[in-house]
Amino acid sequence: MRIENLDTCAVRLVSTTKTEPSLIKEIVAELSDRINNGDISEEELIKYLNSDEGLMAYIARVSSPNQENTKHSGLLKYCINQSHWSVFQMCDMTLEIITSRGIAPQILRHSSFSFQEFSQRYAEVPSEGIIIYIPRRQDIKNRQNSINDLSEEDKLWFQQQQQEIWDKSFKTYKEAINRGIAKESARFILPLNTITRMYMKGSVRSWIHYINLRSSNGTQLEHQVIASKAKTIFVKQFPTISEALLWK
């Protein structure tokens, strides 16, 4: 895989927390009288328990005599407004992220998440496995910032240099492997724009914190793009929470 120009990453949904089907059947059975009387809609109850946000609300109401209440948007918004964050630790989301070895350490430092990353120790890096980045000028007043006002000539030069360095380093990498040098040693010759794939799993609470932090100024632009794509997925999966966070 080769990612060029502004498309410097790929992010997609892998999974979210799902309610155990036997638990849903048990709850429906316990409430069968109320369902038969028309007090509760079985269809709405199942939909409520099957959704990530509904499951969080159901767990949040553990001390409530009305735990099966399917109207949960108000509860979740209240929890956010009152900073009752423990509710949002009850469900997880896992994303697949494709980025470079240069950006990956910035993601991996978020210790509240669990990670699995492509290992260059065990698997050989493919020949097309680089990202060609567009450079920016260093902001001399803010070390954490860069400015997109370089000339097209300088941008082109930098991109060409990335390609040339990759061609040389990958050729050396392959030669090292052919000489019997272990992959875990040969990988040291590869540059930071080598592609890596990782899986990032965390609670809804962790994702809220990560997206808020990494979507803001002070985060490297290439990492901001990843956070932005994660946010798009989050908004789709957790619309009520996103609305309360003013993310819509």
DSSP E strand stretches across 80-221: 92-100, 114-117, 131-132, 137-138, 146-147, 195-203
Kindly report whether the global pTM for this prediction surpasses the value 0.75.
yes
Residue among 45, 22, 19 nearest 34 (CA):
45
User: Residue 19 to residues 91, 95, 190, 191: CA-CA distances in angstroms?
Assistant: 10, 19, 43, 43
Please say if 214 is a catalytic residue.
Answer: yes
Domain boundaries, the chain: 3-15+92-244, 18-89
**Which of the four CATH numbers 3.40.50.360, 3.40.50.300, 3.40.30.10, 3.30.1360.170 does domain 3-15+92-244 have?**
3.30.1360.170
Q: How much is the pLDDT for 7?
A: 61
Task: Give the dihedral of Cα atoms 29, 31, 36, 38; nearest 10 deg.
Answer: -150
Q: How much is the pLDDT for 4?
A: 44
Mean of the pLDDT values across residues 39-48? 94
pLDDT, tens digit (0-9, with 9 covering 90-100), for 167-198: 999 999 999 999 999 999 999 999 999 999 99
pLDDT averaged over every residue in the chain: 93
* 65 pLDDT above the threshold of 50: yes
* Cα gap 194→84, rounded to integer Å: 41
Within 10 angstroms of residue 167's Cβ, the number of other Cβ atoms is 12
Q: How much is the pLDDT for 2?
A: 43
Tell me the two tokens of residue 235.
């908004």
* 26 pLDDT above the threshold of 50: yes
Report whether 196 contacts 98 (CB < 8 A).
yes
Residue among 204, 184, 126, 191 nearest 161 (CA):
191
Tell me the two tokens of residue 36.
């038969």
* 99 pLDDT above the threshold of 70: yes
